[in-house]
Amino acid sequence: MRLVKASEMQEMDRLAIQELGIPGVVLMENAARGASRIFLEHFDPPQDSLVLVICGRGNNGGDGYVMARYLLQAGLKVAVVVLSDLEKISGDALINLEIIRHMGLETVEAPDPDTWAGLGQALKDCDYIIDGILGTGLNSPVRGLYAQVIEEVNASEKPVMAIDIPSGLNADTGQIMGIAVDADLTVTFGFPKLGQLMFPGADLVGRLARIDIGIPDTVADQVPTECHVVEPEYFSSLFHSEKGDIHKGNRGHLLILAGSTGKTGAATLTALGALRAGAGLVTLGVPRGLNHILESKLTEAMTVPLPETEDGGLSLEAEKEIKGLIEGKTALAIGPGLSTNEETSALVRKIVSTCGLPMVIDADGLNGLASELNVLADHKGKRILTPHPGEMGGLTGLKNSDIQSDRAGTAIRFAKEHGCYLVLKGARTLIAEPDGKIFLNPTGGPALASGGSGDVLTGLIAGLLARGWPMAKAAMAGVYMHGMAADLLAEDMGQAGILAGELLDVLPELMAAIARGEWPLEDLPFHMDFYHPL
């Protein structure tokens, strides 16, 4: 499913209006008619309920005027407050404002804080609020009257529906621009906006429903978009494309370089994640002093003892043996639990720069790369980096707050600059491709906030790479299944206390369900209803 930025949706509107000749007032009518239908279906308001529609000066206010008309026709009582002098309303919004005024619908202007303060009783008396204050084009902090109104709307604790996007939310990043409406329901127009699915804004959207407002596909397809939601159909066919006479050699052989003193768990979980992804063979290269531990922990994977540093990590002397191990392998995973010993980091850089295998780099592998990212250049498109925001800060030099305030932009820029695939972990994990496309993963939640879950993810992605999957599909499928496994466990166990190793037991059944097209979409933390205007 496509996600759009505010400018992309605005361009679709412009093309529909200026090139096809669809009047803007028609698009506004379609949008608000659909929004009214969803409002009635979602809240099921009793007859004679009072709906307060709060409108700004722009087209979001225009949508509010149309909704007021439809809700009045549905038997509800409606009051409209315009946060502007009425003579400043123009265009399609003015057309619809004049219609409801001719109908005798109560319309009050409140262009300043004093006037708004005099309407305090209306906020207390209403049963529902419709937010038509600010639209998707907002890119600066909300101040003054609008900030005051939003604060009082949130404090009212009345059920709120947001038109297109909660006022105060950045449509591209999901950031709260000072203050934003906390909605129970958001009805968005055309395509969902990236910022509606990104945190912290996703917490303010409530239920998200999408309205097709009548922009033809021929117009929408003229506007390139870089953002999509990960959906199982992107990769489900790869789970059942194997022949009946397959053997372990046909499913690839993954080499993992992981572990150091005190971090054998990371190596173990990575290996088990790869096996659960269906890799035929897994070999784990570990510091020599830890080999007996990993042999005890792992029954199905092979282990190879390698030269180690004094503090129990892999040493530079291991390079020659690792080059021999690479022969005959189909993919490599490097980093989980390796340590940040400078000698180990130097080894990481050598392996990343010289190994031609498709590769997943995680954890201390990323820390080892941070000082010399140029080593990625020789193998463009064959590296998947899987940082959490802290590790992303090490790779980019950015503050955590800067990364989180523009997760998508940060990921896209890095992937394009370094010619790699980037999995930026966190709430709503993102997968960025070297060509600038980005995919938002809808699965996963607080259940993944436990040590070792990232190691399982590294193994999952690397195991799929070992099976010969394309880089993008391996990243998307690994992230999607990892999150879905946590979601399924959380249904019975809650969001806290789930162990990373418990994710492994869910994966085979989950992969089989995806292959059969039986994934439980209705159970996803993000679910969107779609309504056609006809």
The identity of residue 520, as a single letter, is P
User: Is 106 part of a structural domain of the chain?
Assistant: yes
Reference 153, options 171, 179, 177, 186; nearest CA is 179
- Please report which confidence band the pLDDT of residue 531 belongs to, taking 50, 70 and 90 as the band edges: low
User: Is 27 part of a structural domain of the chain?
Assistant: yes
Who has greater pLDDT, 76 or 238? Answer: 76
Among 170, 199, 224, residue at a domain's last position: 224
For the ranges 10-19, 234-243, 295-304, 428-437, the lowest mean pLDDT is seen at 234-243
Output the pLDDT for position 512.
87
Phi, psi of 398, deg, nearest 5 = -90, 155
One DSSP character per residue, 204-255 reads HH-EEEEE--S--HHHHTTS---EEE--GGGTGGGGG---TT--GGGG-EEE
Beta bridge partners of 361: 334, 385
Tell me the percentage of the chain whose pLDDT exceeds 90.
Answer: 89
Q: Residue 444 above 80 pLDDT?
A: yes
Q: Residue 533 above 70 pLDDT?
A: no
Q: How far are the Cα atoms of 117, 241, 406, 469 from residue 235, in angstroms, in the given order? A: 55, 11, 27, 9
Do residues 209 and 282 both lie within one domain? no
Do residues 462 and 318 both lie within one domain? yes
Do residues 34 and 92 both lie within one domain? yes
Do residues 23 and 123 both lie within one domain? yes
Do residues 116 and 257 both lie within one domain? no
User: Is 16 part of a structural domain of the chain?
Assistant: yes
Task: Please give the distance of CA 256 from its chain centroid, rounded to a whole number.
Answer: 28
Residues recorded for the chain: 534
Output the pLDDT for position 184.
97
Who has greater pLDDT, 240 or 402? Answer: 402
Tell me the percentage of the chain whose pLDDT exceeds 70.
Answer: 96
Do residues 283 and 150 both lie within one domain? no
Residue 38 backbone class (left: φ over 0; alpha: ψ -120 to 50; beta: rest): alpha
Do residues 185 and 319 both lie within one domain? no
User: Is 534 part of a structural domain of the chain?
Assistant: no
The sheet that has 253-257: what strands, in order across it? 2-3, 227-229, 438-440, 430-432, 421-424, 383-385, 359-361, 331-334, 253-257, 281-287, 302-306
Reference 275, options 294, 295, 248, 257; nearest CA is 248
Output the pLDDT for position 364.
97
User: Is 529 part of a structural domain of the chain?
Assistant: no
Reported as a single tens digit per residue, the pLDDT across 304-352 is: 999 999 999 999 999 999 999 999 999 999 999 999 999 999 999 999 9
Q: What is the CATH number of the domain that holds 394?
A: 3.40.1190.20
| Residue 361 to residue 358: CA distance in whole angstroms | 10
- Please report which confidence band the pLDDT of residue 70 belongs to, taking 50, 70 and 90 as the band edges: very high
What contacts 178, CB < 8 A, 6 or more positions away? Answer: 141, 142, 143, 147, 168
Output the pLDDT for position 239.
80
Look up the pTM and report it: 0.92
* Average pLDDT value over all residues in the chain: 94
For the ranges 429-433, 484-488, 529-533, the lowest mean pLDDT is seen at 529-533
Check residue 201 and report its DSSP letter.
T
- Per-residue pLDDT averaged across 67-88, rounded? 97
One DSSP character per residue, 217-229 reads HHHHTTS---EEE
Do residues 263 and 214 both lie within one domain? no
Reported as a single tens digit per residue, the pLDDT across 81-124 is: 999 999 999 999 999 999 999 999 989 999 999 999 999 899 99
| Residue 196 to residue 183: CA distance in whole angstroms | 11
User: Is 532 part of a structural domain of the chain?
Assistant: no
Do residues 356 and 482 both lie within one domain? yes
| Residue 109 to residue 97: CA distance in whole angstroms | 12
Do residues 109 and 242 both lie within one domain? no
Reported as a single tens digit per residue, the pLDDT across 256-305 is: 999 999 999 999 999 999 999 999 999 999 999 999 999 999 999 999 99
| Residue 316 to residue 395: CA distance in whole angstroms | 22
The identity of residue 328, as a single letter, is G
| Residue 251 to residue 239: CA distance in whole angstroms | 12
Decide if 384 contacts 361 (C-beta within 8 A).
Answer: yes
Do residues 246 and 395 both lie within one domain? yes
Q: Residue 448 above 90 pLDDT?
A: yes
User: Is 533 part of a structural domain of the chain?
Assistant: no
Among 192, 224, 256, residue at a domain's last position: 224
| Residue 230 to residue 220: CA distance in whole angstroms | 20
Task: Please give the distance of CA 189 from its chain centroid, rounded to a whole number.
Answer: 19
Q: What is the CATH number of the domain that holds 104?
A: 3.40.50.10260
Residue 48, burial from CB neighbour count under 10 angstroms (0-12, 13-18, 19+): exposed
Reported as a single tens digit per residue, the pLDDT across 12-57 is: 999 999 999 999 999 999 999 999 999 999 999 999 999 999 999 9
How many domains does the chain contain in total? 2
Q: How far are the Cα atoms of 375, 410, 426 from residue 423, in angstroms, in the given order? A: 18, 11, 9
User: Is 528 part of a structural domain of the chain?
Assistant: no
Beta bridge partners of 54: 81, 131
What contacts 52, CB < 8 A, 6 or more positions away? Answer: 79, 80, 81, 122, 123, 126, 128, 129, 130
Among 176, 201, 224, residue at a domain's last position: 224
What contacts 158, CB < 8 A, 6 or more positions away? Answer: 123, 126, 127, 128, 129
Number of other CB atoms surrounding residue 499 within 10 Å: 14
Q: How far are the Cα atoms of 123, 182, 388, 514 from residue 206, in angstroms, in the given order? A: 21, 8, 26, 27
For the ranges 365-369, 475-479, 484-488, the lowest mean pLDDT is seen at 484-488
- Please report which confidence band the pLDDT of residue 513 belongs to, taking 50, 70 and 90 as the band edges: confident
Decide if 469 contacts 437 (C-beta within 8 A).
Answer: no
Do residues 183 and 287 both lie within one domain? no
Q: Residue 403 above 90 pLDDT?
A: yes
Residue 500, domain extent: 232-523
Half-sphere exposure of 118 (CA within 13 A, CB side): 9
Q: How far are the Cα atoms of 50, 337, 453 from residue 364, in angstroms, in the given order? A: 58, 6, 15
| Residue 431 to residue 423: CA distance in whole angstroms | 5
Output the pLDDT for position 532.
60
| Residue 108 to residue 52: CA distance in whole angstroms | 11
Decide if 381 contacts 419 (C-beta within 8 A).
Answer: yes
Output the pLDDT for position 521.
44
Who has greater pLDDT, 365 or 243? Answer: 365
